Structure 1
Amino acid sequence: MSKLDEQALLALKTAFCYMPKANDVNEFDYPGRVQQILADIEAVREVLLMNEVDPDEVADEIHPDLANNSSY
């Protein structure tokens, strides 16, 4: 797979911010769809990684006003 252009990558990052986190996916909230949702989340994470984007840092980049301001 080739790398995404900047506009497509920004769109994917933004969409990823609104996806549920894998540890929040459960049968109560997503009845009968847990495995598919987890697979979708993993697929998006893989594309982000292939484009040299850390999925765990995307939310802070897209929404810096909501970022945790930790000082390690």
Structure 2
Amino acid sequence: MSDQMSEDALQALKIAFTYMPKAIEVNRYEHGDEYERILSDIQAVREMLLLNGVDPDEVQGELRPDSTPNSTY
């Protein structure tokens, strides 16, 4: 079985990823005992994006360039 997704499924995953919290924002204080599961879910989505040739750190800028801050480097 291939890990490659259809273009429609990949686009949907990118959109969903933009609504997920960033891993750095997830902690026990705000998310309770669920924080480890949330971090695992975020990592699973990041890995699927990478397997499909998508840099997770660039998804926000790709989908919403007008609302993404410019790079400082």
Which ranges of structure 1 fall in alignment gaps of 5 or more residues?
A: none
* Map of 2:33 onto structure 1: 32
User: Following TM superposition, where does structure 1 have runs of at least 4 consecutive aligned residues deviating by more than 2 angstroms?
Assistant: 69-72
Aligned residue runs from structure 1 range 1-72, under 5 A: 1-70=2-71, 72=73
TM-score, normalization by structure 2: 0.90
Quote the offset at 1:71 in angstroms: 6.2
Normalised by the length of structure 1, the TM-score is: 0.91
Q: How many residues align?
A: 72
Unmatched runs of 5 consecutive residues or more in structure 2: none
Q: Tell me the alpha carbon deviations over residues 12-65 of structure 1, each in whole angstroms, 9 at most, x when there is no partner.
A: 000000100001001121111111000000000000000000000001111111
Per-residue deviation, 1:69: 2.2
**Identical aligned residues as a percent:** 53
